[in-house]
Amino acid sequence: MLKIAVIDDNGSAREELLALLSAKGEVDCFHSEAEFLQSTKAGSYQCVFAESNVARKLQGLLLGADAATPVIHLASQPSITEAVAAIKLGAVDYLARPITADDLERALEAALRQQRTGVPDRYFADGAGLESQLDNMERELICNALWRASGVVGGRAGAAKLLGVTRTGLLYKMRRLNISRVPIAPSEAAPSESECEGRTQVVGSVS
C-alpha cells in the first residue's frame, strides 16, 4: 500500500488532504517538520506533501537521505518565484490552494514515477524537461490567480499581487504563455495552453 505523509500546521487543511488522499493509500499527518523527522517512519514514505516553507527545509534532508523520496509543495499564498525555486530544488510539484482531487492525482502519479525510477518527473514532461514543466506550472498558477481576482476592480493587478509579480510582469507572462482568458473555476486552471484556452471565458485583451 502507498505510504503518504502530510505535513501542515493547519488542522483543517490536514483533514482536507487526509480526506482526499485516504483512498490512495496509508496517510499519516504531522503538525510540523520536527514531528515528521522524529517519527520512526520518516524514511519510509513514498510521497511527502508539505506546506511550501516546510517542504523547502525538508527537501535537502530527504534528497540527501533518499534521492527517490518525492516532495510536493503546497502553497496557501503561491508565487511564481517560489514555485520556480521549488521545482529547481527538486520538488515533484507545486500545488496552489485550493487543491482539487485532480491536482492530487496528477501530483501522485508524478511522485510514483519518480519513486520508481529515481529520476525527477520533469524528464518525462513532453520530452522538453525542466523548461516545459516550469512553463506549465506558471500557466496553471496564472490561470488560478486570474480566476481568484476575476470580478474585482483592478483584477489583473490583484492577480499580479497574488503571484508576487508586477502587473507589467504578469502581462508579459500572459503574452509569452498565450493566456488571454480567465478560467471559469480554479479547478479548471489547466496545465496546458490548449486546455487553458478550452476551459476559459473571454475577458478582453491582455494589453
The residues, any chain, with a CB within 8 Å of residue 196's CB and separated by 6 or more, are 139, 143, 179, 181, 183, 189, 190
7 with 106, same domain: the answer is yes
Decide if 177 is inside a domain.
yes
Contact 21, 44 (CB under 8 A): no
119 with 139, same domain: the answer is no
97 with 183, same domain: the answer is no
135 with 105, same domain: the answer is no
Report pLDDT for 30.
95
Decide if 207 is inside a domain.
no
User: In terms of residue numbers, what domain contains 145?
Assistant: 129-202
Residues 94-147: tens digit of each pLDDT: 998 888 888 899 889 888 887 777 666 554 444 445 667 677 778 878 887 887
111 with 134, same domain: the answer is no
pLDDT above 80 (res 10): yes
How big is the CA angle at 84 (ends 88 and 114), to the nearest 5 degrees? Answer: 45
Residues 40-61: tens digit of each pLDDT: 887 788 899 999 989 888 876 7
- Helices in 6-90 by DSSP H: which ranges? 11-21, 33-38, 52-65, 80-89
31 with 60, same domain: the answer is yes
Number of domains in the chain: 2
Report pLDDT for 119.
63
For the record, the C-alpha cell of 110 comes out as 508524478
34 with 53, same domain: the answer is yes
29 with 103, same domain: the answer is yes
155 with 110, same domain: the answer is no
